[in-house]
Every structure is written in C-alpha cells, then in structure tokens.
Structure 1
C-alpha cells in the first residue's frame, strides 16, 4: 500500500544546492506537512507514494526558493522616481524628501504587497526587509504567504514614522511582539548605516540582538565617500568603528560591502559576519564592485540582495545572480571567478545561512521547509540545455518561473501569483499612489 503524502513534484532536474555541485535528473521531490520528505528516483517515488497533488514538470528544473538578503520592499512605489544619481544625492535630493511626504503605514503595506507579488513571481520565497512601519510590512508579507525577516529600522533623525532612536526601537519592538508567533514572519535589528546611527545606538542594537537572538541588518562600506567621512569624523573606517563598539558578530549582515580593504575583510571573517551583495543597485548608483571572490575565499557567507526598486529598479534575484557572476569575472579578469553553482548558492543557501535560517530553508534536504521554485527550461529561447545550473544563471530570467511553493503551499501556479489580492486590485492601489505622487 502506497504512503499518502501532500505533494509529489516530478521535474526533469532537481538542483538541491546541498550537497554542492549536484544535479539530479529524473528524480521526484515528496512533501508532507509542509516539509521535504524525500528526494528519490521518479519510478521509486510513484511506487512508494500516493500524493494528494501530483505536479508533472517535464522540462523544468526545481530549485530551493530564492532568498533576497536585502530589500526595501515598500520602495516599489518609488520605482523610477529618482534615476541616475549617486547614493547621497539620490537620498538627500530625491528619496528622503519623497519619504517625508508620502510614507505612512498604508504606503508600506501597499508597496510591500506589490513587492511581494514581484518577488514571488520571480521565485523569491524569503525576503530580508528593511523599512519603516515594520508592522505594515509584516502584514503585507503575511497576506502574500511569503517568508520574511522584517527589519526594525534604527536611525537618529526624525522621519514620518519615528522621532528619534528611542522611538524607532520602541515601535519596532512593538511590531515584533505583535508578530512574534507567526510561522513565516521574524524580525531583525536594522540600524540603517554608520552615517545615520550613533555609537550608543549601535551598542543598543548589539545588546538587543544578543538578548532577543536576532540578526543585525546594516548598510556598510557602500561608497568611497562613506569611508572618507568616517575617517574624518571618527578617525577610523566604518567596520573598524563597529568592531570597536562590539557590533560585529556572526549574526551581522553587512549590506553592499563594496569598498573593503584587506583589513576590512579580515574583520568580517574574524567575527563571522555575512555580506548581502547587491550588484545591480551598486552598478546603478555608481557605488562600485564588491570584492566577492575575496569575501568567499576568506570564508565569509555571501548572499544576494536586490536593494529597493527605487535604486535597482527591479526586485529580481535571477538578475542579481547573473550580474554577480559577470561582475566577479570583470573585476578579477578571471572567467572562473564566480561559477554558476556558486552564484546559485549565494541566491539560496548563502542567504539562508546569513539569516540563520539554513536549518529550515536554502537547500533541498529532507526535513527542511518545502520552499521551492520551478523554472521552465523548455522554451526555444533556452534550448539546447546541457547544464540547467548554467541556464539558471546565464540564460533564464524570472519570466521562466512557473511554480513557487512556501511550506509546500502553492504561491505561484503556472506563472500566476496566488495572492489574497488580485493583480487587478493591486494595480488599482498602485494607480492611487501614482496619482498622489503626481499631485
């Protein structure tokens, strides 16, 4: 008698990511109670299991759900409003003034829901977010059925959301308390950047992160000006300052990490920090190219982030994989600098490890959550296919994602995002915000 399970997926290929470098052909993945039960040859799976749902994907590759290690999801509503500016002019002349006029809980909820739809359709199942009104962001991610780590933003100066560092932390912790028992929503401490956060606030962030066992999510070494300003104000580089303050540690995710010298890399490695590499945003803002190969060689965990749609202008981890691989080759003048398997690892298990979620997600192992993404490689535009991992990084884009599951539940089916709100309703919401911005 066959064993009853919830879901059996039979793709042409499975890329488990763990163990590294493996491609399985003509295997099936079995799901029960939201967890991966087994990966085994198709014939054996059909003989052993009686699935409630059987999904046949004859030309597809099945991979772990992608992890977006750094995003400002609500900023999808600012997409295309501030192009072709360097970081500080982009912030000071465009983004901060726009935020002061428009950001509220409704803005964050609507923008995050729009971003969640974009990410899900692009195979992203987990997002590490950083923005204001975390309670509204959590609501949107939960409505979309998406896994998210929501940042409790910390700054010194007032914004429409909070007045000072104490207010940011009080409101962030209240949001965490509200959502602390949700199975897919967790939180991080998110001090914005060294140039917006004081020494005492960084130390409070470290103490809270230790007490509550949360990640620290911070922009670091994004531009050359950031380094120069820190040397002028503090007499040391930003990472050295954070090391002196005791902020660096295994739960710290440093975002961008573009301008690093040998000592900076040694600090990150010594303290077990992780890096969120955002190649498209770094290129668009003219910030530079992160030394990814040196980070990986030093044993530093590296994941991929999109940043916000206002500085990218898309939340597309397939694009980040391709850009990461190509930029590494250009930067080092070495075509083997970042192979396709390494780029896929960064987009999946690397991000999960950085978040401390690798026991649950990031690879396809029995016992892990069934966060899955199926990509159709049967199109004439993806033929011939000799190596599906190569195609995932260098050929296929997010438009080839057809199915996404989170905890074994479908979130995208045959290319259609399954949200509690329809695309038509979402477009009406976006139209309202577009009109507000124009007036």
Structure 2
C-alpha cells in the first residue's frame, strides 16, 4: 500500500449489508481513512504498524448524530414534566441559557459528547447557537470553536452547524442574536479556520423561520453554496409553526423556504413534523434532506414526522438525538427503534419502514434504519462515514455479540444481530469499544480521552455554583 497502516480486526465485520467473518480493516494513521478491507493475512507486511484486536466482538460502522444541542444535557431530570413545549422553553431552557458561563458550557458539552461516544456515536452535528456572552452582549469569543474543540477532545468527529439568528426579543435570545453580516462573516471565518481538519466540518444554519429573517436565510443558503456544504434549518417542529409561517410568509413552512429560493440539494430541514405531502415531494425532487429526531419529538410532544412518505419522495434522511434535555438520552439505537415504532403505531401495522425503503428511489441497504443512522446522517453533515469500505472514515464500534440482550442471533452471518441491537435494550450494555479515525477512544467500555472522575468533579462544581 506504500505507507504505514494499522490493522483493526474482530470476529465479524459488517460489510456490504452482511456480517462477514475473517476480515480486517487497514487504516491510515495519517488520514484516519480505511485503505483496505481484506482477510488479515493479506494485510500483514512491512508497512503494517499497530494491530488492534477486538476478540469476541463484531465490528460495525459508528453512528452519526445528525442533530444535537449538547448544552441542554443540563436540563436532564429538571424539565421532564413541563406541561407544554412553550413552558419547557420559557421556564427551563431559557433560564439555563441565561445562567451558563463558558466553563459550564464546556462541562455540559464534555458530558453530552462523552455520553454519545459511549452509546456508539462516532460523529455529531452540533447545532450551536450560544454565540454571545451570558449577558447577551457580543464579544470576540468564538464559542462555536469551543464546541468543536470539546468534541475533538472527547474523540468525536464533529460538524459544527453554526446557527444564524437575528430575530427575537426575549432576554435569552440575546445570547443567540447576531447582526446578519456578523453572523455570516463569523461562520465563514470558522469554516476557514478548520478547512484543513478532516475531522471537522462547518455548516451554516439559519435557526428557523422564527429565529432568522428571510434575508438571513437567503444569505445562509448563499454561504452554504460558497462553502460547498449543506444548510440546516428547524422547520415545522410544532403545530404552531404553521401559523407563524402563514403570518410571516403567507404559506406553509417549506413553501416559504421555496419562495426564498433556498429549497435545493443543500437544504436539510430539521424535524418537519408538520410538513404536507406536497412539501415532502418538493423537498425530495430538489434533492434535499431531513434531520429526524424521533425521541425528542416524542419527549417534547411535537408530533410524528411522516418518515415513510419522506423516504418514498426521495428525501435524504439522517437520525439524531436533538438536545439531551429534550430527550434525556443519546442512544442511536433507541432513535432507530423509536423511528420504527412510531410509524407502526401511527399506521397500526408492522413493516412500515421496510416497505417505504423498498419503494424509495435511494437505496437504503439491508437494514434501512441503520443506514439512516450511519451513512444517511453522515451525508447530511458532509462526512464520508458510516460504511466499512475503502476510502471511508475509519469510525467503528465493537459489539459484544455474546451479550444476553442480543441473544439469540440465529447465526452471525445473518442481519439478526443488528435487528436485535436496534430493538433490544441499551447500547451501553453491548458496545465495548469505539474507534474514530483509526484511534481507539473507548476501550473495554472506558473512555481513553476523558477521565470520568475529572468529569464528575466538573459536574459537581457546576451544581454547587447553580
């Protein structure tokens, strides 16, 4: 192969939609990409460096969290029983925002990102909007860079989905708001700062129809085209978003974006719980995407996104956790399970997602839900990740297939093991090791990047100060 490579192997490896024994993964330490997948004896040679063996394990591509607000992890347990979404925002999320200094913000992100890693996420799309200081005044601190550096410190690949926000008069919204020209320039500068880092992407993200003006949404789309990235935006999460869209734009949310000229192959809508069939068809025809967060939508009482219709319409779909405080968990397999079961109970029958996947114009593999949570999410963030194949990011999870929660698996060559992973228990019980870019960041269920006792001490200091 001509340059040094390391070799990672386990008993079985998920390749091309099947569990395959007797394969190993060669990874370039320089690029963090897979250079070959082959039997191990074909990889032994003078250019081989370290050999990493996960005995009694099965290797899968790592999952990608397409949508996160990591700081909201500090709402866990405090806002679970809010009577409404509006109350959750006004009485819990906004007060948290107003009282969060940079040290607390870093602690929250360390906790959330570490939790993601332990549950099998290897990359995250961090939709970040705490741009100004706690007093709401603009300063020169680029807190989005703090989010990037914290994710990398934990070991995650990260797409910083930098929010553009110029609307709103509530005190907490002062932390989010920026003049449009400043928002665009700082996003452009952040992208330039990390342009050469293969583990980082920077994407512009007008917050929503209520958080960003039409001019800023259009400017965000232009910046995405300039940077060669996608543009993410919250739309149609809550039913009242429909009335707001009609009040401001005289039409439904996606049609409003179409009037602004931004519905194209770069557009990724977040949530979309209340989009109409014609809107899904428009989004699919233009090559757009959906960042779907089923558990958070359930937790916050948002509604049920018509995922089957979106898939049939050709919409590119990824799965995310949303903010941990609007979910209380960051388990990608729980998201897959929720995405499936929501459609079953809504339509009162089984097999809904599989049927939609077969009818979708985009191939979704042997286990469609897993494809959405890996390749699907990665594509919406601009990463070549989510597949164990030459040229792709070497982001892997090792699974203890002897775990009782995964029994019986009826022969490991079948996809039954992966079905059990989606529909049984918590991934914390059977994910033992995680690799990002060829680097082991979780070994034998222990983080190699962040000491748990130090993180607990930071959380204790934060709690004493609140």
TM-score by length of 2: 0.86
Aligned to 1:418: 448
Number of aligned residue pairs: 428
Deviation at 1:40, TM superposition (A): 2.6
**CA, structure 1 residues 60+49, in 2 after alignment: closer, same or farther (shift >3 Å)?**
farther
Is residue 2:289 matched to residue 1:274? yes
Residue from 6, 27, 46 that aligns with 2:23: 27
**Mapping 1:132-151, distance limit 5 Å:** 132=130, 133-151=143-161
2:402 to 362, 378, 384: 378
1:94–1:47 Cα change, 3 Å: closer
1:260 to 275, 280, 286: 275
**1:219-239 superposed Cα distances (whole Å, 9 cap, x missing partner):** 111111111222233210111
Q: For the structure 1 residues 324 and 375, does the alpha-carbon distance in structure 2 shift closer, same or farther, using more than 3 Å as the test?
A: same
Residues 134 and 152, structure 1, Cα contact 8 Å, conserved in 2: yes
For residues 239 and 210 of structure 1, the distance between their equivalents in structure 2, rounded to whole angstroms, comes to 19
Greater shift in the superposed pair: 7-16 or 345-354? 7-16
The 3-state SS of whatever aligns with 2:353 is coil
CA 1:50–1:394: 2 relative to 1, 3 Å: farther
Match of 1:117 in 2: 114
Matched, 1:185 2:200: yes
Q: Helix, strand or coil for the counterpart of 1:365?
A: coil
Query: Does the CA-based 8 Å contact 1:249-1:273 persist in structure 2?
Result: yes
Provide, for residues 41-61 of structure 1, a one-character-per-residue CA deviation record: whole Å limited to 9, x for no partner: 45x447668854334334322
Which residues of structure 2 form unaligned runs of 5+? 131-142, 355-365, 411-415
Q: Secondary structure at 2:237's aligned position in 1?
A: coil
- In 2, the alpha carbon distance for the partners of 1:152 and 1:50 equals 40
Q: Is the 8 A contact 2:201 2:382 kept in 1?
A: no
Q: CA deviation at 1:243?
A: 0.7
Decide whether the 8 Å contact of 1:60 with 1:376 is kept in 2. yes
> CA offset at residue 144 of structure 1?
1.9
The equivalent position to 1:344 in structure 2, one of 356, 360, 370, is: 370
Instruction: Determine if the alignment matches structure 1 residue 36 to structure 2 residue 42.
Output: no
Name the structure 2 match of 1:242.
257
2:457 pairs with 424, 428, 439, which one?
428
Which residue number corresponds to residue 165 of structure 2? 155
With over 3 angstroms needed to count, the CA separation of the structure-2 counterparts of 1:380 and 1:163, relative to structure 1, is: closer
Give the 3 Å change call, closer, same or farther, for CA 249–426 of structure 1 in structure 2. Answer: same
Structure 1 residue 179: deviation in Å? 3.1
Instruction: Quote the Cα distance in structure 2 between the aligned partners of 1:207 and 1:4.
Output: 40
Task: Answer whether contact 2:6 2:49 (CA < 8 A) is retained.
Answer: yes
Q: 1:159-174 counterparts in 2 under 5 A?
A: 159-160=174-175, 162-174=177-189
Taking a change above 3 Å as real, the CA distance of residues 65 and 83 of structure 1, as seen in their structure-2 partners, is same
Q: Which residue of 1 aligns with 2:89?
A: 91
Residue 116 of structure 1 deviates from its aligned partner by: 1.5
Question: Cα gap change, 1:206/1:240 in structure 2, threshold over 3 Å: closer, same or farther?
Answer: same
- TM-score, normalising length from structure 1? 0.91
Mapped contact 1:191–1:197 kept (Cα < 8 A): yes
Relative to structure 1, the CA distance from residue 4 to residue 210 in structure 2 (aligned partners, 3 Å threshold; closer, same or farther) is closer
Offset at residue 286 of structure 1 (A): 0.8
Q: Aligned runs of 1:313-392 on 2, under 5 Å?
A: 313-339=328-354, 341-357=367-383, 360-386=384-410, 387-392=416-421
| Separation of aligned partners in 1, 2:188 and 2:102 | 16
- Residue 293 (str. 1) matches residue 308 (str. 2): yes
Once the 2 structures are TM-superposed, how far is the Cα of residue 10 of structure 1 from its aligned partner?
2.9
SS at match of 2:324: coil
Relative to structure 2, which stretch is displaced further, 389-398 or 320-329?
389-398
Q: Among 96, 104, 112, which residue is 1:107 paired with?
A: 104
Q: Provide the C-alpha distance between the structure 1 equivalents of 2:398 and 2:59, rounded to a whole number of angstroms.
A: 4
Q: Deviation at 1:80?
A: 2.4
Which residue does 1:8 correspond to in 2?
A: 7
Question: Matches of 1:84 and 1:164 in 2, distance apart?
Answer: 35
* 1:207 matched to 2:222: yes
Q: Over the residues paired in the alignment, what is the CA RMSD in angstroms? A: 2.3
Report if aligned partners of 1:73, 1:116 keep a CA contact under 8 Å in 2: yes
Q: Which residue of 2 aligns with 1:66?
A: 63
Structure 1: tracts of 5 or more residues without a match: none
Query: Aligned pair 1:401/2:401, yes or no?
Result: no
Q: Secondary structure at the match of 2:174?
A: coil
Q: Distance in 2 between matches of 1:272 and 1:416?
A: 40
